[in-house]
Structures are given as structure tokens and as C-alpha cells.
């Protein structure tokens, strides 16, 4: 029997009895198509397994005996983007690679439960609660807001974040060295040095710019910290700074229209899950308004943005896989220090530079780690 797909989940709306079935009240499509109750389904499966094991000779080594001996752990995979995003396969493969380094192989002793907010951060609390309800063993999140949503949903299931700004400042962890709770992962800390470096690189690419805008998301608890540091850096560099907010994808047009009205000369786009999911749209709007922009994640430049100055997102997902693997082996998140990047990479999109009429200085190109032609 086929059931309707759920608009919030990217697996069929009705999950198998092993997965626990739909969470009551989570989604009308799931509720209206609910198969027999989870408990009945689980009882039937356990009875069948018990009968087969009792019927088998002592020491049997068939598939059912192997299933009884080896548990398959489940990892919740919670991202703000959509499953069809080109970044997802790269992040998944990197995460799987990290898991394999500790002996965890998807399809053998570990399984992934996928949930995607599709650029709508308002869905994160519901999706996190759903992962908690089905009883995953670890939750992997892509960003700080997703980590905050997951932590609100559980204080016991371990949570690993792959990319978070200032996790101490927003209260995700007690300290970088000893997180102290059920949350740990990979971070890059915002500060006047990082904000100053981004503004300096933007100023080198567009030296005549005197007014810089910052695109930020008020729904991201980490962005106020970033804004304060950017203001400090802007004063030191002698450029004017103005913040433009966008809480959701449908607010991006208004934000760029406001930048145009205020004669903004260049733009800093703050790292954010929602901005990441809409990165192609943001790059197109920056091109439309002829705004040189620098971004906090490399994938923005790959999507058509001018520049990015950031750690490797894919590398962070591999490290997150290593962390998840350690936790499945018994490590406590409270004792796993939050890792910070040791290298930030500069990416320059020359196609975008030419479209904007910018002549990127040779010295800046020589310092770039990646040049997109």
C-alpha cells in the first residue's frame, strides 16, 4: 500500500514499524495515513524474531542470529536546506567517511534518519522533536539554530553540530574545552579579527566602497554577536556599516531593495542556514543590484557569489562524523572539546567579478585558495 508523502519529511509520510511510525499530531498527512500502531507492529516483529531464534540450533549463525547480536544505531540528520541541494551529497559522503574512521558503516551497523527544513528555520523545532520521538541515538545538525532546536527537544540524546558560530556565546555549550552537556561539534568563532579580515578582503576587491551592508537573520541567535564584531571592525577600517535583516527567503527581495535605496556599495552575508539554502537567490540579487559581496561559507561563491572566506564545510562534516562515531563508541559529548578550524580559505569567483566590472588585484588572487573561472 502506498501512503501520501509528508510535506515536512523527505521519507514517505508513514514510516515503517522499525522507525516508529509518524509522531501523532506532527503532520496531517502522516496522521491520516497511519498504519497499525507502533506497539502492535513491534510486538509482531519481536515475536517472529524470538520464535526463529528458539527454533534455531544453539550457536546458529544465520541472518536472524546476526540481527539479534548486532544492533543498528540510528543517527538523526537535521539540515536547514533541502535534500536536492547539491551540497547534501558532499556533506553526506564526508560524514560517512568520518563515521567509517571509527568502524561505523551505513547499512551495516548504523542508519541515518533524514530531516530537512528546506530553507524554513521555523520547521527545525518540529523536525528535531520528531527525531527525538523516534529514538535516534545521535543527532547531527548543520548549524547553530538547528543545534538550539535539537537541544530544546532533548537534553539526553547526544547532539553534534557541523558548523556553529560562537557556541559558547549563544549558550550551546559551557566552554569550548568542556562543553558540559549533550552538545558538541565543530565551530568557528566570530570576532573582530575574523570580521575585520572579511571586510578587509572586500575592501581590497572593491577599494572605492565606503558603505557596506550586512545581511543578517534576526531569528539566528548567533547573528547579534557577529553584528557587534562587524561594527568594531568597520570602525577600525573607516567604512560605514548598515545592517539589513531577512528572517525568511521571501524577505530577501525587500532587504536588497533597501540596500539599493541606501546606496550600499558592498555586502557581507552572515553565515546562516536559511541564507545557505537560498544562496543561489542571494547571489542573483547581489548581481542584480551590482553589489560585490563576501560570504561566510565557500558554497556561496560556488553558487555565484563574488568571494567567500570560511573554513571547509565539507571538512567539518567529516570531523562531525568522527565525533558521532566516538559518541556511538561510548564517548560523552560533555567531554569532547568543541573543535575550531585551523584554516580559513579564500574563494574568488572570477566570473562574478567580470560581470560586476571588478578588476581583482593580482596580489589578492595570489592569496586565494580557490579561484572559480
pLDDT of 31 strictly over 60: no
Gap between the Cα atoms of 139 and 151, Å rounded: 10
- Across the chain, mean pLDDT equals 84
Short-list 345, 357, 351, 356, CA closest to 373: 351
Torsion, Cα 129 171 221 135, to 10 degrees, reads -10
Q: H-type helices in 61-123, by residue range?
A: 63-69, 87-100
Q: Rounded distance, CA 141 to CA 59, Å?
A: 41
pLDDT at 192: 61
What the chain holds in terms of domains, given with CATH numbers, is 71-189+314-335 (3.40.50.2300), 192-311+344-372 (3.40.50.2300)
Which among 286, 267, 299 is positioned nearest to 352, based on CA atoms? Answer: 286
Closest CA to 78 of 68, 91, 66: 91
CA distance 266 to 293: 6
Under the banding of pLDDT at 50, 70 and 90, the label for residue 3 is very low
The residue that leads in pLDDT, 281 or 223, is 281
CA pair distance 330, 208, nearest whole angstrom: 55
Q: pLDDT: is 232 or 27 the higher one? A: 232
pLDDT at residue 81 tops 70: yes
Contact 274, 248 (CB under 8 A): yes
The pTM of the whole model exceeds 0.85: no
Helices 144-153/124-134 angle, 10° precision: 50
Question: How far apart (Å, rounded) are the C-alpha atoms in residues 307 and 166?
Answer: 22
pLDDT per residue as tens digits for the range 135-161: 999 999 998 889 999 999 999 999 999
310-345 b/e with 16+ CB inside 10 Å = b? bbbbbbbbbbbbbbbbbbbeebebeebebbebeebe
Whether pLDDT at 165 is above 90:
no
Least confident of 65-69, 130-134, 196-200: 65-69
Q: What is d(CA 129, CA 150) in angstroms, rounded to the nearest whole number? A: 7
Beta bridge partners of 31: none
Is the pLDDT confidence value at 264 over 80?
yes
Collect contacts of 282-287 with beta carbons under 8 A, ≥24 apart. Answer: 282/215, 282/252, 283/352, 285/252, 285/253, 285/256, 286/256, 287/352, 287/355, 287/356
- The rounded Cα 312 to chain-centroid distance in angstroms is 13
Measured between alpha carbons, how far is 190 from 313 in angstroms, rounded to an integer? 16
Amino acid at each position: 500500500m502506498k501512503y501520501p508523502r509528508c510535506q515536512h519529511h523527505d521519507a514517505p509520510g508513514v514510516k515503517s514499524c522499525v522507525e516508529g511510525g509518524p509522531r501523532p499530531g506532527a503532520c496531517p498527512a502522516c496522521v491520516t495515513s497511519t498504519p497499525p500502531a507502533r506497539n502492535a507492529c513491534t510486538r509482531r516483529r519481536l515475536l517472529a524474531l524470538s520464535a526463529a531464534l528458539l527454533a534455531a540450533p544453539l550457536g546458529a549463525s544465520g541472518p536472524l542470529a546476526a540481527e539479534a547480536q548486532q544492533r543498528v544505531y540510528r543517527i538523526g540528520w537535521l539540515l536547514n536546506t533541502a535534500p536536492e541541494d547539491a551540497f547534501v551529497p558532499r556533506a553526506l559522503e564526508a560524514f560517512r567517511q568520518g563515521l567509517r574512521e571509527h568502524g561505523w558503516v551505513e547499512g551495516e551497523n548504523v542508519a541515518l534518519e533524514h530531516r530537512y527544513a528546506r530553507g524554513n528555520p521555523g520547521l527545525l523545532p518540529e523536525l528535531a522533536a520528531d527525531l527525538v520521538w523516534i529514538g535516534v541515538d545521535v543527532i547531527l545538525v548543520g548549524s547553530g539554530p538547528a543545534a538550539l532546536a535539537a537541544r530544546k527537544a532533548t537534553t539526553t540524546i547526544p547532539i553534534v553540530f557541523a558548523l556553529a558560530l560562537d557556541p559558547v556565546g549563544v549558550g550551546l555549550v559551557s566552554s569550548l574545552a568542556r562543553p558540559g552537556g549533550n552538545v558538541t561539534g565543530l565551530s568557528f568563532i566570530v570576532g573582530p579579527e575574523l570580521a575585520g579580515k572579511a571586510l578587509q578582503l572586500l575592501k581590497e576587491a572593491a577599494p572605492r566602497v565606503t558603505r557596506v551592508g550586512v545581511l543578517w537573520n534576526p531569528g539566528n541567535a548567533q547573528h547579534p554577536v557577529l553584528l557587534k564584531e562587524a561594527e568594531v571592525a568597520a570602525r577600525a577600517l573607516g567604512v560605514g556599516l548598515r545592517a539589513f535583516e531577512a528572517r525568511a527567503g521571501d524577505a530577501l527581495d525587500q532587504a536588497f531593495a533597501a540596500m539599493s535605496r541606501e546606496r550600499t556599495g558592498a555586502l557581507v552575508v552572515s553565515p546562516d542556514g536559511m541564507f545557505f539554502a537560498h544562496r543561489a537567490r542571494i547571489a542573483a540579487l547581489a548581481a542584480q543590484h551590482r553589489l560585490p559581496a563576501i560570504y561566510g561559507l565557500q558554497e556561496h561563491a560556488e553558487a555565484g557569489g563574488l568571494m567567500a572566506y570560511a573554513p571547509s564545510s565539507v571538512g567539518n562534516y567529516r570531523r562531525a562524523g568522527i565525533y558521532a562515531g566516538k559518541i556511538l563508541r561510548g564517548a560523552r559529548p560533555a567531554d569532547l572539546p568543541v573543535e575550531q578550524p585551523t584554516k580559513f580559505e579564500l574563494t574568488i569567483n572570477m566570473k562574478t567579478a567580470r560581470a560586476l566590472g571588478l578588476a581583482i588585484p593580482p596580489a589578492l588572487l595570489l592569496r586565494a585558495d580557490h579561484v572559480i573561472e
